[in-house]
Every structure is written in C-alpha cells, then in structure tokens.
Structure 1
C-alpha cells in the first residue's frame, strides 16, 4: 500500500476562551533599523490582517490564543513569528531581511526541467481532484526548487508568499512554504507552511455555492477529525476509530533460520557466488526463498471501537495529545468515497466486504505523542503519516 504524508498545513492555532480582545502591536523595520511602511501583517489560518502605517507601526486585536504572525513586503523575505496572547497586550517588533531572489534568478542558469518540477509540485501540493483543477498558482516564480536525482526527491520552499486562487472554494490563499518534499521511492509527500486566506469576490449566489463546497471539503477531513476529537465529539460527528494490528507472520521462520538454510543449499566455488542446486534439494531451496519473501507481519483489522477517553489526554490548557500503538483506522460514515478517488489504483484502503463505501483513512504514528489544538491543528506535522482518503 502506498502511503502519503499529508500532515496538515502548519496552521495558526485558533483557541479562544474569552470574548475580550488584547492588542498585538509593534514596528516593522529593516536590518538598519529603519521603519517599513506598507508591510502586510497577517494572522496565519485566519482572515485577519493589517498594513503598517507611515511609521512602520501595526496593531491587531486578538483573542487569547496561540498565533503565527506573517509579514510580507515586496523586496523583503517573508517572515513568520509565533506569539501567545494570554491576558494582556503584547508588543512584537519585527525585522525583515532584504530578498536576493531576483538577483539569484539572474545569476543562476535556468533549470530546463523547472516546468516539469513545478507541475509535479502542483499535483502533489494542490492535488488532482475536481476542486484542485480550479486552482491556479499566480506566481510560481517564487518557488525555490531542488531535485536530488540520486535520492529521487523533490524539495520546494519559498521566502515569499505563493499565491493560489481557488475558484472552487472562493479563496485567494497566500502560502509561505517552509518545506515541501516528495520522494518517488517512498511515495511519501510532506509539507508544512503558513497560509493566509482571503475571500474572492463573487455574487451572492456564487458565495452560497462556495460556502457549501467549503463545508463539504471540511467535513471528514483530518482537521475535522482532530477538532471533534478535541471536543470529545468524534463519534457523534460521524467518525469510527478502529485499529489495524500487525501480528508476526507465523508462516515465516526467523531470518537467521532462513539464511542458514539458503546458505546450506548454496555452494561457493572459485571465489564466485554460484547457486548450484542439488537435485534432491532443489525444491527445498525454492521453499526457503519463498519463505524469505513472505511479509514479516500480518495486518488484521480490529473492529472494536477505540474509546476517545482512552486515546485522548490533556497536555495543558490549550493542547491535547494522542499516543497509540499499531495503526489507527478512521472511518467517516457521513460521506461516501468520491468515485474519482475509488478508481485510483493503490490509494483506497482495504475494507471488510460488509462495510459501505465510507471514506477510510489510516494514521501511522511517526513521532510520539501527537499534540493538537482545539481547531484541529497539529503541533508537529511530521508526527503522523496518512494513507487512504486523507492521502
């Protein structure tokens, strides 16, 4: 089974426990200490933003919570800073570094394969679904691309916002790509970054369609799952949590036994490794080679529901965590798999014959534990590997 890491955008944390706003303020400067007017100051994951005034000053009213603040100004590298708003105003001065991207583009020889790599990035980062087909990268020139031929690995980052217009959901997205990686060997995709959303202009009828599509895109998603898990409502909101348990394959002897028998049935002559099969043991050698090729473990679906109160634990006032063995098997029962997904070979997760075509995904733990926030955002995007519908 091919696994895909779609370990969320590194979203800003939308945790609000009080209605009162506290002021985040500061000055945006360059490295010489000079104020920078006209810089955009954004709150990642929200539609909250402002622009610095003639003195480089900005103010943002925010509720208590943990936020990623993004700053962008043409000619400077985009900057992100994490801040916590608790019970008082916060002052945050920011220093921007001049960008040398344009100079680099002039002095570095253009890559003849760049268009191909951009197409790969678009397919894996935005996707190939009907919604994704209505997305356009406005400024792909900001992509800093590297392809390692030896490792067959594509990596991408940006020091300016990548702008994506999503006509399917009515968003203009500014995304600061911290790191994107795709390995054609492992078939694993990983990305993290900071998004800022703006609503596209449209008629009332168009906005109504966008709102419906946005809800459909959200329901059953990883963010929906972890948000409902945080509030203890995952089961009520349509999720069933099972486990795939891997047990040792009883039909496969230990590696040492297999090696010993293959060595016994193989002779070395004249300093060269030549497999000379004794007529009496030809079938035996084939037998042990077949044993060598057997999987080490057998995966079994345990359909007993995993209780939320045993899976989820409190880290602190704002963060919860999960830790588990084996692999989580997540079933979303309120929507069926899209036919376009079901027809893609190697992506669907195996299911019992009596199970309807619900959306099924799996979670493999990479780094324990997994910390997550009230809005469904994940603290460490590399902590999990997704496969199936979430892939």
Structure 2
C-alpha cells in the first residue's frame, strides 16, 4: 500500500474499534455574517464517513473514540479543517466559513509547456507505479496547482478543491484535497498530506468480488496493517518480523573536516601550468586518494536479525493510543507475500536482504519525530513522524484503503 516518504505515507489519525461506544459530533456551519450554510460537505479524512449540512446549516456525525481530521467544504468558500478528539462524551463544534476571494471556477492556470510532464511526475509519485496505479485515472487534472523550482529541483503541488481519482483496481472514488505535496529530486524524498475521502464505485457482483480480493491484498502487509497488528499485540501472527539496521561509523573514512582540508590544500598546490588539476602524487597525498575517501559511506549498516520483541518496542500511552520509540532503523519483513516484479525491477528502491532470505516484502522505518503514536485501526498520529523506504515507499494512493476498512477474509 502507500508509501510516503515517503514520509509516507499515512497520514490520517484515527482510532477505530467496533466494540467501543460511539459519540456524536454535531454543530452548525455558518458564514462570517452568521448566516447558515446548508449543503456544506463534512468529510472525515481517510474514511468513507461523510454527511451534508441541512437547511439550517446543522450537521451530525456518529464517531467512535479517536482522533479525527474533519474537513468542511462548500464551493465558493475556503475549506476548513478541524482536529477533533472523541473520548467519552459528545462534542459540539460550530464552524464558520470564509468566502473565497477568487471563486474556484475562476482560477486560471498559467500556460506552462511543461505542465503535462509535471502532471506525469506527480501521478507517479502520488498515485504510484504499481499494477493498481495503472487502473487509476485523474478525473480533473485542471485543479492541480503545480510549481516546479528549477534551482531546488523540487516539485510542489496543492489543490483548492478535491482532486478526484477513479481507482478501478480497488473500486474506490478517491476525493483528495491536497494540502501539500513535495518531491525533492536531490534528497529523493516524497512528502504529501491532505484530506482524502473514499467512496465505493458501483459494479456488478463479479466486479465487487474482484475489488474485495484486491482491497485485501492492498491492505495486507501495508503500514496500516502493520500498526494495527502492533496495537493488537500480534505482529508475528499477522506475518511481520521486525529487525533492526544498526549503523556504525566507518573506520576507513576520515572526518569531513580532514577530507575537505586536504582536498582544498591539494587543489591549490597541484595545479599544472594549463590550470588543470594534477591527480597523481603519493598514496596518502593525492587528490585521487582523498576523493576516494570522500566517496566512502560515513556509516556501515549492519542488519541485526534478532526479532525485536513486542513489549520492548510498543508502549501503551493511554486507553486509546500506543506508541513506539527506537534508535537506528526498523527493518520490517512481511512474510505472507512477496515483492511484485514491478518493484523488484526498479533500480534503487529495493532494500538489501541476506542471501538466504526469500523475496519477502521489506520496508524500513527511519524515526523523524519521537515517539510515534498510533491507534487501533493502524492510523498514525503525525504524518511526519516516520520516513519509509523500500516496499512501503513504493506503494502509494493507488494501493490505499480507507481507515475504516475491515478485512473480512484472508487469502
């Protein structure tokens, strides 16, 4: 499933449990003059839960305890998002929307001969390059506000209204209000955040069965599945093995300051009359020697294949939230499925593995913000808390399922 960077992505922060009591989130939606705004859409980010304000601008949602991002949107007004924590009682939330100075229908996209190319880049990095991505179609690319910084080699995209993605592979219509998308070609990091809403596509009984099977495949082995298994204290049963990649300082590589000082000294002294750098010299006193030292990795990565025990990794924060905190890097192996050939054949994305390890799906997690808080449904509190590499960085929106997805059968 997703990837995100990708700080990948996932992004949407909710706790869901069918066994828990539900509570109401209600209120009214008005403009700055206090006039009711009937017809305003209210969307629970990452879910298939939504409603519409009635003629009095009132709304009501029934939600289980958890942390939710709620999006309020009406054409002609600026979209507003509110973070809501449902715990043990109903919550009343009134919202005021501000008129948009520029009507969405009047937004003009500046002519750009490279726009089609940038949209293609965005599609690959946001929707993905998997088999499921091939069956996805962007229905309204005109809403994409694209900026490419040539000096920084950075692609940025946002939208002022829902980007609509028809996913014929999984049977979803995904409406995604993109708050921020960035692709940095220097660091090769993808980051995106926003407000997705899922709708089921209509299809024949045969089509529904195909979608159900593909949804299960997309869910199994995903970050959502992984964190849900951690919460339930059964990652091994669900097919996950968690190891660590330990990085040690490379003893063969001198410090940056020493390398740079010698490169500077030798560049100044070893110049020929034609102005060209002379690479020769003694072994320890040549540009060639110090350039090789500069190109050495600063650290040596060592895979510790001893499984990390659940009770040493996961801690209970409160009744609805758990957390993980770690040093080095987590090496997550999903043993119940193998890598897609489309991924295996992509240069620079696969994670190194021991020669005796089968072609399992492997991802790594770099901790960016500690600790990582997560909920029973596999939702992660802070989308910037982790950086994914490997299989999870490859699978993106095309392989995502809603946060209220419940797997009913196993393959």
Change (3 A) 1:253 1:74: closer
Tell me how far 1:88 sits from its aligned partner.
2.3
2-side partners of 1:56 and 1:245: how far apart?
A: 55
State the SS of the aligned residue for 2:307.
coil
Inter-CA distance 30–126: structure 2 relative to 1 (3 Å threshold): same
Match of 1:10 in 2: 11
Q: Kindly state the Cα deviation for residue 92 of structure 1 after the two structures are TM-superposed.
A: 1.2
Counterparts of 2:67 and 2:294, CA distance in 1: 51
- The aligned residue for residue 96 of structure 2 is 95
SS of the residue aligned with 2:37?
coil
Secondary structure in structure 1 of the residue aligned to 2:107: helix
CA drift at 1:77: 2.6
2:198: which partner in 1? 197
Report the alpha carbon displacement of residue 113 of structure 1 after superposing the two structures with TM. Answer: 2.5
Distance in 1, matches of 2:380 and 2:97, equals 27
When structure 1 is superposed on structure 2, of 140-149 and 18-27 the one drifting more is 18-27
CA deviation after TM superposition for structure 1 residue 215, in Å: 0.5
1:388 aligned to 2:383?
A: no
Query: Secondary structure of 1:387's match?
Result: strand
Distance 1:357-1:94 versus aligned 2 partners, 3 A rule: same
Q: Deviations over 1:263-318 (max 9, x none)?
A: 67665499x98756786x26742334323322221111111111111111122222
1:241 corresponding residue in structure 2:
242
CA-to-partner distance for each residue in 1:234-283, whole Å, 9 max, x for gaps? 1111111111111121222344554565567665499x98756786x267
Q: Counterparts of 2:69 and 2:379 in 1: how far apart (Å)?
A: 12
User: How far did residue 137 of structure 1 move?
Assistant: 1.4
Partner of 1:348: 350
The 8 Å contact of residues 15 and 66 in structure 2, kept in 1 or not, is answered as yes
1:186 aligns with 2:187: yes
Deviations 1:111-164 (A, max 9, x none): 332222222111110011110111111222222222111111111122212111
Out of 359, 362, 382, the residue aligned to residue 360 of structure 1 is: 362
Q: Which residue of 2 aligns with 1:43?
A: 44
Aligned Cα RMSD in Å? Answer: 2.5
Matched with 2:298 is: 296
- Cα distance in 1 for partners of 2:223, 2:262 equals 47
* Residues 308 and 32 of structure 1: CA distance in aligned 2, closer, same or farther (over 3 Å): same
Task: Give yes or no for the alignment of 1:370 onto 2:400.
Answer: no
Native 8 Å contact 2:14 2:381 kept in 1: no
1:212 paired with 2:213, answer: yes
Specify the alignment match of 2:400 in structure 1.
Answer: none
Task: Give the distance between the partners of 1:113 and 1:266, measured in 2 at CA.
Answer: 40
Structure 2 match to 1:319: 321
Distance in 2 between the 1:165 and 1:66 partners? 27
- Name the SS of the counterpart of 1:130 in structure 2: coil
Cα distance change of structure 1 residues 35 and 317 upon mapping to structure 2, 3 Å threshold: same
Structure-2 change in CA distance of 1:52 and 1:275 (3 Å): closer
Task: Give 1:220 shift.
Answer: 0.4
Unaligned runs of 5+ in 2: 394-411
State the aligned residue count: 386
* d(CA) in 1 for partners of 2:279, 2:56: 85
Which residue matches 2:119?
118
- Greater relative CO, 1 or 2 (CA 8 Å, sep 6+): 2
Does the C-alpha gap of structure 1 residues 50 and 262 become closer, same or farther in structure 2, counting only changes over 3 Å? closer
Mapping 1:125-274, distance limit 5 Å: 125-258=126-259, 268=269
Given that 1:266 and 1:274 are in contact with CA atoms closer than 8 Å, whether structure 2 keeps it comes out as no
Q: TM-score, normalised by structure 2?
A: 0.87
Partner of 1:390, secondary structure, is helix
Gaps of 5+ in 1: none
Contact 2:8 2:392 (8 Å CA) reproduced: no
Task: Please say if residues 12 and 194 of structure 1, whose CA atoms lie closer than 8 Å, have aligned partners that are also in contact.
Answer: no
CA contact (8 A) 1:161 1:175 kept: yes
Distance in 2 (CA, whole Å) between partners of 1:245 and 1:132 is 34
Query: For the residues of structure 1 that align with 2:354 and 2:7, how far apart are their CA atoms?
Result: 25
